[in-house]
Amino acid sequence: MDSDHRPSSITRRQFVTSSASVLALGSFTARAAGAPSHQPQRPGRGPFRVIIDTDPGVDDALALLLAMRSPELKIEAITAVAGNVPLDLTLPNALRMVEIAGRTEIPVAAGARAPLVRRLVTAAYAHGENGLGGAVFPEPKTKPVAEPAAVLIRQIIGKFPGEVTLLTIGPLTNIATALNADPELAGMVRSLVMMGGSLSGGNITPAAEFNVYVDPEAARIVFQSGIPVTMVGLDVTRKTSLTEDHVRQLQAGQNPVSQAAATIARNAIEHNRERGFAVGPNMHDSLAVAGFIDPSLLQMKEYYVDVETAGELTAGETVGYSPNAGDLRRRAGMEKDATALTMPIRGSAPTLAGTRTSPVLRDKFVPNANVAMDVDSARFFDLLIGRLSEKY
């Protein structure tokens, strides 16, 4: 929100949207942190219509293969965006994964080449110059569709209003572009599950996670859109390091998907080792997809999340507000205390030279996101490796 926006009471539309988000996300986020799901979900539910927005990327590639091997998902489209590497690489990498999985019926669209207002920052240092850790596959024969990603996103959501979940595992530029083009679009999206953000420090700066760092303005548009958001960020994805044993299990799978995944995984591990990284690579994006397939893998907590866009050192930081987190935690039975429920969402304090009062971004706590706070890593890898190697 603009810093000179005056405090105001939450509107009925904001209240309805925020309240509805809890219901709309129920199939994915029923598990509050430390609490069992009211409706436990397991693989086999669905199928759900999804659009996967991606910037392949090592973990993106495995996430795409997982999604295309999962009957719970009806993939309406895959949209590529610049991020881990430029669009000239992420687009053919997405097409390669579609061919490897034998799913060439899925339309693949080219998206944004750069963030909304910033220069592109890539992560070739982590994903290799080709985005796949140096793993080489043939040039794809499949061609992308003619429609730009943002146009295709709008077309599909318009065709199936209230049915499409956006699985976003890259910078959010394509999604923000679609939302900016159609003010009614957000109200037609079932939910958005994103790999991105962190409430526990970043991976490209001390404050910011990479996907949000690349295009913080786009991420802010998404968080403030009213779409029910599930944030699967570094708080949990740091617990998903790929190991040599995982690679061996993939190599044992006798199918093209498993063999391709093993090749990418092996190259990614060697790439990390050569550069002296102590951990990883982490399966960030695969966890977001797996968590949508099987919500019981994750424990969730409601937050109001906003994105820092002006900070010289903190741009891209996802800031989570909760009346029951950190030093604001209440004693058992006091979580619904009136003081907690009316906690204002504040921005920075006014400067001595300024006349503005401290802006209140919200005058009452209303969550806009469910944030993953813990993960059953062993079960996640069982699902990932099992699907890719055709164990189940």
Chain-centroid distance, C-alpha 371: 11
Give the confidence band of 341 by pLDDT, cuts at 50, 70, 90.
Answer: low
How far apart, in whole angstroms, are the C-alpha atoms of residue 111 and residue 101?
22
* Residue at 330 is within a domain: no
Confirm whether 254 is domain-assigned: yes
Residue among 153, 152, 191 nearest 28 (CA): 191
Report pLDDT for 243. 94
Is 339 part of a structural domain of the chain?
no
pLDDT of residue 18: 42
In a domain, 282, yes or no: yes
Letter string b/e over residues 216-228, b meaning 16 or more CB atoms within 10 A of that residue's CB: bbbbbbbbbbbbb
How many Cα atoms sit within 13 Å of 50 on the Cβ side?
27
For residues 125-133, give the mean pLDDT: 88
Q: Please say whether the beta carbons of 108 and 142 come within 8 A.
A: yes
Provide the number of structural domains found in the chain: 1
The verdict on residue 103 lying in a domain is yes
Among 127, 246, 271, 284, the one annotated catalytic: 284
ω into 367 cis (within 30 of 0): no
Assess if residue 3 is contained within a domain. no
Mean predicted confidence (pLDDT) in 166-174: 98
Can you give the CATH number for the domain in which 60 is found? Answer: 3.90.245.10
pLDDT digits (tens, 9 = 90+) for 363-391: 888 999 999 999 999 999 999 999 999 86
Active site residue 284: yes
The domain containing residue 71 runs over which residues?
12-319+368-388
Instruction: For residue 239, count other CB atoms closer than 10 A to its CB.
Output: 15
Distance CA 97, CA 131 (A): 12
Predicted confidence (pLDDT) per residue in 266-294, tens digit: 999 998 888 888 777 999 999 999 999 99
Q: Can you tell me the mean pLDDT for 143-168?
A: 98
Directed axis angle between helix 216-223 and helix 173-181, to 10°? 60
Q: Which two tokens stand for residue 291?
A: 């968590």
Query: Which range, of 87-91, 180-184, 321-325, averages the lowest pLDDT?
Result: 321-325
Judge whether 163 lies within some domain.
Answer: yes
Whether 347 is in a domain gets the answer no
Residue range 176-196: mean pLDDT, rounded? 98
pLDDT tier for residue 7 given thresholds of 50, 70 and 90: very low
For residue range 18-64, what is the model confidence (pLDDT) as tens digits?
433 433 344 444 433 333 333 334 455 779 999 999 999 999 999 99
